[in-house]
Copies of this chain bind each other. A is one copy, B any other.
Amino acid sequence: MDLSKFFSAKNIAIIGVSKDPKKVGHIIFRNLIDSNFEGNLFLVNPFADIILNKKVYHSLLNIKENIELAVIALPAKKVPQVIKECGKKKIQNIIIISSGFKEMGNIKLEDEVKNLLEKYKIKCIGVNSLGIFDAYTKLDTLFLPRYRLKRPKPGNISFVSQSGALGLAILDLATSENYGIAKFISYGNATNIDESDILEFLLQDNNTKVICMYIEGVKDGRKFLEIAKKVSKVKPIIVIKGGITEKGKEAALSHTGALAGEAEVYYAAFKQANIIQANSLQEVFNFARILEKSMLTKGDRVQVITNGGGYGVLSIDSIIKNNLSLASLNKKTIEKLKKQLTNLVVISNPIDLSGDATTERYKIAIDACLDDNNVDILLLIVLYQSPLIDTSILDIITEAKDLKKKPIIVVSTGGEFTDTLKRSLEDNGVVNFTFPEDAVKAIKALTEYYLKR
């Protein structure tokens, strides 16, 4: 389903804008001003003439211009009438922020909305949506103040959430952790457009490279499976499923009214559609980070290089626990490294460059491993606390990544100094993790996805 107009709309009507700065419609208007959105806003409220120096229309039908997107922030019972007006004005895309429908037991009202949308052939995100956000076009209908919820920089991860509050909290954290986001969509009750429609749209969206989803239940299992299969051939889909236990399912039912279904059925479907399943929100973050860099891999043989022995040991334990393969270096590589490195270095898996490892030692080991046919992926541990590691290591890693065409995942743990170097690597497109166990789980997700695709 083509939803591009939702994000590229230039003429937007906000229906239900209040003078009260705490009300939803007002905050949406305010945010669109603050976001430097380059379009035209049309405010609608029968009881106001001017808000924040902007003309207010008493009715949608009084607007002469063509409206590409209407955002509805009115009490639930007023929604059907407004949809009729949208229909008359030939508005094709609307977002309904209003809640108080099926999720509150008002099934009849939601059915009325659903039927009207079909009658007028209107595409609708919601009801009970927390809004959408596009980091490129700056289209922003999230009704949360920007001082509480910072907006992310443009990037390639899109996030689709059945739970609005969860989605926004994640978006907020992603922003502070410097993730780049393409689109954010809170689809609420999926009255008219469901998670499968959104998936299908994101396949076509050029800015989206990775799709993350929080779902409790899907509307139409067969449709979802069919579309997900198609999408995952091109773009990785990471899903975290709420309601995988009986008690969790009950909670989901009283949350979004979703029938969370049998966890096993979902897991089987995810597997069949090559959907990457995250078992925690942290994993969603970790998996998105590694997959955003879209490092194709041809195998799962991991070589570890470290300047901290304990990190080497924990990494190997993790690789085995996650059913990945340990790379075994070619004899030639080992001989070469033995010649080039001091006998303090343990050349095996891990290669332990030892606490007194220099940047030069790293360069030798990195190049040799990446040139070795027995290595598919490099897990590179760099503890920057050592004064022997100078900042040229950043260039060495970045160059290796660009030239050698194999995934390099860096693990570094530390404070301010370490964070500065990590950020610099991230800016050059290198994936970093704080802990070896997280890095290995992410590598597992990466290899599973690509080896199946």
Which A residues have a C-beta under 8 Å from some C-beta of B? 22, 27, 104, 130, 144-145, 147-150, 161-170, 172-173, 175-176, 214, 216, 240, 242-248, 250-252, 254-256, 260, 279-282, 307-314, 316-317, 319-321, 326, 344, 346, 348-350, 352, 355, 383-387, 412-419, 434-438
Q: Report yes or no: B383 in contact with A165, Cβ–Cβ below 8 A.
A: yes
Q: Report yes or no: B176 in contact with A308, Cβ–Cβ below 8 A.
A: no
Q: Report yes or no: B385 in contact with A165, Cβ–Cβ below 8 A.
A: yes
Q: Report yes or no: B355 in contact with A386, Cβ–Cβ below 8 A.
A: no
Q: Report yes or no: A165 in contact with B414, Cβ–Cβ below 8 A.
A: no
Q: With A and B bound together, what is the CA distance between A150 and B243 in angstroms?
A: 42
Inside 8 A of A312's CB, which chain B residues have their CB? Answer: 251, 255
Nearest-CB residue, chain B, relative to A146: B417
Q: Report yes or no: A173 in contact with B282, Cβ–Cβ below 8 A.
A: no
Nearest 7 interchain pairs by C-beta: A163-B310, A166-B310, A176-B415, A165-B308, A255-B309, A248-B317, A242-B313
Contact with A245, one of B214, B242, B251, B317 (Cβ below 8 angstroms): B317
Shortest A70–chain B CB gap in Å is: 22
Shortest A414–chain B CB gap in Å is: 4
Q: With A and B bound together, what is the CA distance between A313 and B250 in angstroms?
A: 8
Inside 8 A of A415's CB, which chain B residues have their CB? Answer: 149-150, 172-173, 175-176
Besides the known contacts A148-B417, A216-B310, A245-B321, 20 further A-B residue pairs in the complex with CB atoms under 8 A apart: A130-B355, A144-B386, A145-B387, A148-B386, A149-B415, A165-B308, A165-B311, A166-B311, A168-B385, A169-B308, A169-B383, A169-B414, A170-B413, A172-B413, A173-B434, A247-B316, A248-B313, A251-B309, A251-B352, A282-B435
Q: Report yes or no: B386 in contact with A281, Cβ–Cβ below 8 A.
A: no
Inside 8 A of A279's CB, which chain B residues have their CB? Answer: 437
> Can you name 18 A-B pairs with beta carbons within 8 Å?
A22-B387, A27-B387, A144-B385, A144-B386, A149-B385, A149-B417, A164-B355, A173-B434, A176-B414, A176-B419, A242-B313, A242-B314, A245-B321, A254-B346, A255-B313, A281-B437, A282-B434, A282-B435
Inside 8 A of A281's CB, which chain B residues have their CB? Answer: 314, 413, 435-437
Q: With A and B bound together, what is the CA distance between A168 and B383 in angstroms?
A: 9
Nearest-CB residue, chain B, relative to A343: B104
Given A310-B216, A415-B149, residue A386 in contact with residue B437 (CB < 8 A): no
Inside 8 A of A260's CB, which chain B residues have their CB? Answer: 313
Q: Report yes or no: A417 in contact with B147, Cβ–Cβ below 8 A.
A: yes
Q: Report yes or no: B173 in contact with A352, Cβ–Cβ below 8 A.
A: no
Q: With A and B bound together, what is the CA distance between A260 and B309 in angstroms?
A: 14
Shortest A382–chain B CB gap in Å is: 10
Q: Report yes or no: B385 in contact with A169, Cβ–Cβ below 8 A.
A: yes
Shortest A394–chain B CB gap in Å is: 15
Given A144-B386, A175-B415, A176-B415, residue A165 in contact with residue B307 (CB < 8 A): yes
Shortest A323–chain B CB gap in Å is: 11
Q: With A and B bound together, what is the CA distance between A321 and B246 in angstroms?
A: 11
Nearest-CB residue, chain B, relative to A246: B320
Q: With A and B bound together, what is the CA distance between A312 and B126 in angstroms?
A: 21
Nearest-CB residue, chain B, relative to A255: B309
Q: With A and B bound together, what is the CA distance between A254 and B214 in angstroms?
A: 44
Contact with A149, one of B280, B348, B414 (Cβ below 8 angstroms): B414
Q: Report yes or no: B165 in contact with A355, Cβ–Cβ below 8 A.
A: yes
